[in-house]
Structures are given as C-alpha cells and as structure tokens.
Amino acid sequence: MSAHPYDHGHTVAGWTGFGIAGAGTAVVGFGVCTVSWPLLAVGASVALAGLVVTWVLHLAGWGKPPGPRPREQWGWRVRDVSARQGHAGCLGCRLAGRGRPAAREVSGRAVVPAVRSGAQDVRPVGAGRTDG
C-alpha cells in the first residue's frame, strides 16, 4: 500500500505512448549502430508518433491530469471524465484549446504609496514630472 496521494499518471495514454516511443528509440539506436540514415529517420518518426498518440489518447480521456486524485481513480484503466473540459495547468489540453485558465479580474486601480507630509519630492524636473 502506498503512503502518498499520487498514482504517478499510470494511464492507458502513458503506457501506450511509452511503448511506441520506446520502440522508436530502439530503432534510432539500431540506426546509430548500423550508421543507417533511413533507420534514424524511421525511428525518429515512430518516437514522434508515440508523442502524438499519447496526446490524442489523453484528450480522449485515457490520460489523467497531474496532481493528487481520489484513490478510486488510481487504476490505469480508469477513464478520466473531466477530459472534455480540459485539465487546469495541462499543456496538452491548452494546445488542444481546452482548459483555458480563467481570466483574472483586474480592479483597474493602481496602488500608489502616499507621500508623507513634510517629505520633499527629490525627482529632478523632467523625470516624469508635469508640475514644472
């Protein structure tokens, strides 16, 4: 039994992407050993395909957002129902146009420290002053 509240993202999207990218990396390694440019290109393409497949599966709900989750969602075959709205802070969801952070409200007022009575303004004339 684990003592931490994380499941470290063991998901269908994560394992599938890892498998495809691992196979692509193996092909790249074989291409390096045999000095074969076509194998290098194929291996790099397969590794890139692993990235794309992981992203698509994540958007389809087979990936999970980062951070702690309830224990019942720790299984790697549990589908994430919040994927349609996008995960807060998730780069993949932001790239897909999901999970945009809410716009921050700005009051429009600037905080300016008050000038103490008796204190002189030591800024030289012309340094942003309009009073002469």
Along the 132 residues of the chain, how does pLDDT read in single tens digits?
456 666 666 788 889 999 999 999 999 999 999 999 999 999 999 999 999 999 999 888 888 776 677 777 777 778 887 777 877 778 888 888 886 555 444 455 555 555 556 555 555 555 555 555
Are the beta carbons of 65 and 80 closer than 8 angstroms? Answer: yes
Are the beta carbons of 65 and 90 closer than 8 angstroms? Answer: yes
Question: C-alpha distances in angstroms, 110 versus 43, 73, 130?
Answer: 55, 45, 19
Query: Model's pTM, two decimal places?
Result: 0.63
Amino acid of residue 41: A
Count of residues making up the chain: 132
